């Protein structure tokens, strides 16, 4: 896919996304995490003639690239800069308050991971940035160098699920006294020497969970996901579908619990003899268990290995 340097993108679980989200009639599709545009391009290429694809991303670089690679579909493709946590406002602005399918491909894009200056990966030396939206002020550098031990520990424990969170947080605060921690590899090296060698994970770099936790905190990812899910259900027409690809347990658990609640409807305590809330189910689960990439895809694209894809369909009920 052409979209400027660094914007080659292999969409995760592309065929499953198309199988679950495509409609037989002309439809409006929303890719809430446009990134390199792999899923959006697949939808544009395979959807019924007359369909429209709306692409949202909070990374200005992704939108600039999409305006170039999407030019052949200019009449049917509308990329827009914004955070999906304001989905209702964004769709209203675009003139499509009701749509037929919505996709959320969570986490960091391949372009962001592979661009050293974005600071998402310790595989490349770069500034400790980690902002998905380069217009925001908060960076990983400011967080690492100004947060307290308790704040850092909570971030690493809650968002990174890091068992050595307290030890790493103390090491970060001690290290930054000598000089600010401003680069990816300096932080990764600090984490590696802080965790006992015998306790290093066998399948990932010892700094992986630390980088995950910081990235989630910098971009407020879990709160944004919490805010977008009910808006997505509201925006779907009856029969419309919501698909979410998650890459770690925190996201997947949040999506699973939301889908289950929306499919259950009633929010009354289980001990009550009858429903008093009158809440009707709004979703039908299409994936009782999350779909996974095929073995071949995981071999061809190792970044897909942890992907979990859940899909639900909007029921025809009064809002």
Q: What's the pLDDT tens digit per position in 283-302? A: 999 999 999 999 999 999 88
Output DSSP code: residue 25.
S
pLDDT for residue 4: 43
pLDDT for residue 5: 41
Q: Hey, where are the domains in the chain?
A: 14-111+221-314, 121-219
* Low-confidence stretches of the chain (pLDDT beneath 70): 1-9, 318-319
pLDDT for residue 7: 52
Contact of 53 with 26, CB cutoff 8 Å: no
Q: Report strand pairing: 99-105 vs 236-246.
A: parallel
> What's this model's pTM, rounded to 2 decimal places?
0.91
Cα–Cα distance for residue pair 38/307, rounded to 1 Å: 15
Query: Any idea which fold 121-219 has?
Result: DNA polymerase; domain 1 (1.10.150)
CATH architecture of 14-111+221-314: 3-Layer(aba) Sandwich (3.40)
User: Rounded to 5, what percent of the chain is helix, strand, coil?
Assistant: 45, 15, 40
Cα–Cα distance for residue pair 156/169, rounded to 1 Å: 8
Q: Which letter, b or e, does each residue of 216-231 get, where b requires 16 or more Cβ atoms within 10 Å of its Cβ?
A: bbbbbbbebbebbbeb
């Amino acid at each position: 896919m052409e979209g400027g340097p660094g914007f080659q993108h292999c969409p995760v679980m592309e065929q499953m996304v198309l199988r679950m989200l495509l409609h037989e009639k002309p439809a409006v599709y929303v890719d809430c995490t446009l990134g390199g545009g792999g899923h959006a391009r697949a939808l544009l290429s395979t959807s019924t003639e007359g369909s429209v694809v709306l692409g949202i991303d909070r990374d200005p670089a992704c939108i600039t690239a999409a305006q170039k690679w999407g030019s052949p579909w200019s009449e049917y493709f509308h990329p827009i800069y914004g955070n999906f946590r304001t989905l209702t406002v964004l769709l209203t602005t675009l003139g499509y308050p009701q749509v037929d399918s919505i996709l959320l491909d969570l986490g960091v894009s391949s372009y962001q991971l592979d661009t050293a200056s974005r600071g998402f990966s310790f595989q490349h030396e770069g500034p400790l940035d980690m902002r998905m939206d380069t217009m925001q002020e908060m960076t990983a550098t400011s967080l690492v160098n100004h947060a307290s031990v308790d704040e850092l520990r909570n971030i690493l424990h809650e968002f990174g699920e890091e068992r050595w969170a307290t030890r790493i947080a103390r090491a970060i605060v001690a290290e930054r006294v000598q000089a600010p921690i401003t680069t990816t590899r300096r932080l990764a090296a600090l984490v590696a020497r802080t965790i006992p060698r015998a306790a290093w994970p066998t399948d990932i770099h010892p700094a992986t969970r630390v980088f995950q936790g910081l990235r989630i905190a910098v971009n407020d990812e879990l709160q944004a996901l919490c805010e977008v899910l009910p808006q997505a259900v509201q925006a779907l027409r009856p029969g419309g579908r919501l698909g979410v690809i998650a890459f770690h347990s925190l996201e997947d658990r949040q999506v699973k619990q939301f889908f289950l609640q929306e499919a259950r409807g009633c929010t009354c305590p289980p001990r009550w003899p009858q429903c008093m809330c009158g809440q009707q189910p709004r979703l039908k689960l299409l994936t009782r268990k999350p779909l996974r990439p095929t073995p071949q895809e995981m071999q061809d694209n190792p970044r897909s290995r942890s992907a979990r894809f859940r899909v639900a369909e909007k029921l025809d009920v009064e809002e």
